[in-house]
Amino acid sequence: MNAHDDVSGASDPLAVAESLLAGDDIAGLIRHLRTNGDQLPLSDVARVLRVAAQVSGFDDLAEAAADVLDADGDPAERAQALFDFGYECVERGIAFLAIRPLSAAVELEPQAVPLRTELAAAYEREGRHREAVAALRGYDGELPW
Protein backbone atom coordinates (compact mmCIF):
# COMPACT_ATOMS: atom_id res chain seq x y z
CA MET A 1 0.00 0.00 0.00
CA ASN A 2 1.28 3.44 -1.00
CA ALA A 3 1.36 6.19 1.64
CA HIS A 4 -1.01 8.18 -0.57
CA ASP A 5 -3.57 5.39 -0.72
CA ASP A 6 -5.00 6.28 2.69
CA VAL A 7 -7.08 9.25 1.63
CA SER A 8 -9.88 8.81 4.11
CA GLY A 9 -11.58 11.83 5.58
CA ALA A 10 -8.55 12.55 7.78
CA SER A 11 -6.40 13.78 4.88
CA ASP A 12 -6.67 17.15 3.17
CA PRO A 13 -7.69 16.27 -0.41
CA LEU A 14 -5.70 19.14 -1.91
CA ALA A 15 -2.56 18.26 0.06
CA VAL A 16 -2.86 14.64 -1.07
CA ALA A 17 -3.33 15.73 -4.69
CA GLU A 18 -0.31 18.01 -4.52
CA SER A 19 1.76 15.25 -2.89
CA LEU A 20 0.81 12.83 -5.65
CA LEU A 21 1.78 15.42 -8.25
CA ALA A 22 5.09 16.07 -6.52
CA GLY A 23 5.79 12.34 -6.66
CA ASP A 24 4.85 12.18 -10.36
CA ASP A 25 2.12 9.68 -9.48
CA ILE A 26 -0.36 10.79 -12.14
CA ALA A 27 -2.35 7.55 -12.01
CA GLY A 28 -2.62 7.93 -8.23
CA LEU A 29 -3.73 11.53 -8.67
CA ILE A 30 -6.50 10.50 -11.06
CA ARG A 31 -7.67 7.78 -8.65
CA HIS A 32 -7.59 10.32 -5.83
CA LEU A 33 -9.62 12.83 -7.87
CA ARG A 34 -12.18 10.15 -8.70
CA THR A 35 -12.95 9.64 -5.01
CA ASN A 36 -12.09 13.06 -3.60
CA GLY A 37 -12.32 15.54 -6.46
CA ASP A 38 -15.76 16.81 -5.47
CA GLN A 39 -14.29 17.97 -2.17
CA LEU A 40 -12.00 20.39 -4.00
CA PRO A 41 -12.94 23.69 -5.60
CA LEU A 42 -13.08 23.34 -9.37
CA SER A 43 -10.17 25.78 -9.69
CA ASP A 44 -7.97 23.42 -7.64
CA VAL A 45 -9.00 20.46 -9.77
CA ALA A 46 -8.13 22.45 -12.91
CA ARG A 47 -4.81 23.53 -11.43
CA VAL A 48 -3.61 20.04 -10.47
CA LEU A 49 -4.96 18.56 -13.69
CA ARG A 50 -3.12 21.22 -15.71
CA VAL A 51 0.17 20.14 -14.15
CA ALA A 52 -0.65 16.45 -14.57
CA ALA A 53 -1.53 17.03 -18.21
CA GLN A 54 1.71 18.93 -18.80
CA VAL A 55 3.73 16.10 -17.25
CA SER A 56 1.85 13.58 -19.39
CA GLY A 57 2.28 15.55 -22.61
CA PHE A 58 -1.46 16.23 -22.97
CA ASP A 59 -1.10 19.81 -24.16
CA ASP A 60 -4.76 20.13 -25.15
CA LEU A 61 -5.95 19.25 -21.64
CA ALA A 62 -3.28 21.44 -20.02
CA GLU A 63 -4.34 24.41 -22.15
CA ALA A 64 -8.04 23.86 -21.43
CA ALA A 65 -7.33 23.68 -17.68
CA ALA A 66 -5.29 26.88 -17.89
CA ASP A 67 -8.15 28.60 -19.73
CA VAL A 68 -10.53 27.70 -16.89
CA LEU A 69 -8.13 29.30 -14.43
CA ASP A 70 -7.82 32.42 -16.59
CA ALA A 71 -11.53 32.91 -17.47
CA ASP A 72 -12.94 35.42 -15.03
CA GLY A 73 -15.42 37.98 -16.27
CA ASP A 74 -17.61 37.26 -19.25
CA PRO A 75 -20.04 34.38 -18.56
CA ALA A 76 -19.92 33.25 -22.20
CA GLU A 77 -16.10 33.13 -22.09
CA ARG A 78 -16.18 31.22 -18.81
CA ALA A 79 -18.79 28.80 -20.20
CA GLN A 80 -16.59 28.17 -23.24
CA ALA A 81 -13.52 27.54 -21.05
CA LEU A 82 -15.50 25.14 -18.85
CA PHE A 83 -16.86 23.36 -21.92
CA ASP A 84 -13.39 22.99 -23.44
CA PHE A 85 -12.01 21.64 -20.17
CA GLY A 86 -14.88 19.18 -19.78
CA TYR A 87 -14.56 18.10 -23.41
CA GLU A 88 -10.84 17.40 -23.02
CA CYS A 89 -11.50 15.42 -19.84
CA VAL A 90 -13.98 13.23 -21.73
CA GLU A 91 -11.52 12.82 -24.60
CA ARG A 92 -8.75 11.75 -22.22
CA GLY A 93 -10.93 9.10 -20.55
CA ILE A 94 -11.59 10.95 -17.31
CA ALA A 95 -15.25 11.79 -17.90
CA PHE A 96 -15.92 11.81 -14.16
CA LEU A 97 -13.82 15.00 -14.01
CA ALA A 98 -15.79 16.54 -16.88
CA ILE A 99 -19.15 16.56 -15.13
CA ARG A 100 -18.54 19.48 -12.77
CA PRO A 101 -17.14 21.92 -15.35
CA LEU A 102 -19.77 20.95 -17.91
CA SER A 103 -22.55 21.36 -15.32
CA ALA A 104 -21.16 24.78 -14.44
CA ALA A 105 -21.07 25.70 -18.13
CA VAL A 106 -24.72 24.66 -18.54
CA GLU A 107 -25.63 26.86 -15.57
CA LEU A 108 -23.97 29.81 -17.29
CA GLU A 109 -25.44 29.09 -20.75
CA PRO A 110 -28.56 26.93 -20.22
CA GLN A 111 -29.71 27.17 -23.85
CA ALA A 112 -26.41 26.08 -25.42
CA VAL A 113 -27.10 22.65 -26.90
CA PRO A 114 -23.43 21.58 -27.26
CA LEU A 115 -22.92 22.09 -23.53
CA ARG A 116 -25.89 19.90 -22.66
CA THR A 117 -25.00 17.16 -25.11
CA GLU A 118 -21.38 17.02 -23.88
CA LEU A 119 -22.62 16.89 -20.28
CA ALA A 120 -24.94 14.03 -21.26
CA ALA A 121 -22.00 12.28 -22.94
CA ALA A 122 -19.89 12.62 -19.78
CA TYR A 123 -22.70 11.18 -17.67
CA GLU A 124 -23.14 8.33 -20.17
CA ARG A 125 -19.44 7.46 -20.05
CA GLU A 126 -19.78 7.15 -16.28
CA GLY A 127 -22.88 4.95 -16.53
CA ARG A 128 -25.04 7.68 -15.02
CA HIS A 129 -27.85 7.33 -17.54
CA ARG A 130 -30.62 8.96 -15.52
CA GLU A 131 -28.52 12.10 -15.12
CA ALA A 132 -27.67 12.07 -18.83
CA VAL A 133 -31.36 12.10 -19.68
CA ALA A 134 -32.00 14.84 -17.12
CA ALA A 135 -29.25 16.99 -18.69
CA LEU A 136 -31.03 16.75 -22.04
CA ARG A 137 -34.52 17.15 -20.64
CA GLY A 138 -33.51 20.40 -18.97
CA TYR A 139 -33.17 22.03 -22.39
CA ASP A 140 -36.06 24.28 -23.38
CA GLY A 141 -36.18 23.71 -27.10
CA GLU A 142 -35.61 21.21 -29.87
CA LEU A 143 -32.51 19.04 -29.70
CA PRO A 144 -30.76 18.39 -33.04
CA TRP A 145 -30.97 14.63 -33.46
Q: What is the mean pLDDT of each run of 10 residues along the chain (145 residues)?
A: 44 94 96 95 96 96 96 89 97 97 95 91 96 82 60
71: left (phi over 0), alpha (psi -120 to 50) or beta: beta
Interatomic CA distance for residues 20 and 90, integer angstroms: 22
CA dihedral 40, 112, 131, 8 (to 10 degrees): -10
21: left (phi over 0), alpha (psi -120 to 50) or beta: alpha
pLDDT, position 142: 63
Interatomic CA distance for residues 120 and 80, integer angstroms: 17
Q: Give the global pTM.
A: 0.87
